[in-house]
Copies of this chain bind each other. A is one copy, B any other.
Amino acid sequence: MNDNRPIGVFDSGVGGLTVAKEIKRLLPNESIIYFGDTQHLPYGEKSKESITKFTTAITRFLVEQDCKAIVVACNSATSNSIDEIREAAGDVLVIDVISPVAKKVAYELNQKIGVIATKATVNSHAYKKYIRKYNRHLKVIELATPLLVPIIEEGFRNTQVSKYAMELYLSNKKFEDIDTIILGCTHYPLIEKEVQAVFQGRVKVVDSPLIVVNHLIHEMRKLNLMTDSTEPNYHFYLSDYTENFAKLAKHFFGKSITLEQKQL
Which residues on A are within 8 Å of B, measured CB to CB? 38-41, 45-47, 50, 146-147, 149-151, 153-154, 156, 159-161, 164-165, 167-168, 240-242
Contact = CB atoms under 8 A, between A and B. Distances in A.
Q: How many copies does the complex hold?
A: 2
A159 B38 CA distance: 29
Contact of A168 (B38, B153, B159): B159
Contacts of A159: 164, 168
A168 B161 contact: yes
Q: Which of A45, A46, A160 has the most CB of B within 10 A?
A: A45
Given A154-B146, A154-B147, A45 B242 contact: yes
Contacts of A50: 39, 240
Give the interface SS of chain A, mostly helix, strand, loop or mixed.
helix
20 contacts: A38-B45, A39-B40, A39-B46, A39-B50, A40-B40, A41-B45, A45-B153, A47-B240, A50-B240, A146-B153, A147-B161, A156-B165, A156-B168, A159-B164, A159-B168, A160-B160, A160-B164, A161-B161, A161-B168, A164-B164
A260 to B, nearest CB: 14
A150 to B, nearest CB: 4
A245 B43 CA distance: 16
Contacts of A165: 156, 161
Given A39-B46, A47-B240, A159-B168, 20 more contacts: A38-B45, A39-B40, A39-B50, A40-B40, A41-B45, A45-B153, A45-B242, A46-B240, A147-B150, A147-B151, A147-B154, A147-B156, A149-B150, A156-B168, A159-B164, A160-B167, A160-B168, A161-B161, A161-B165, A161-B168
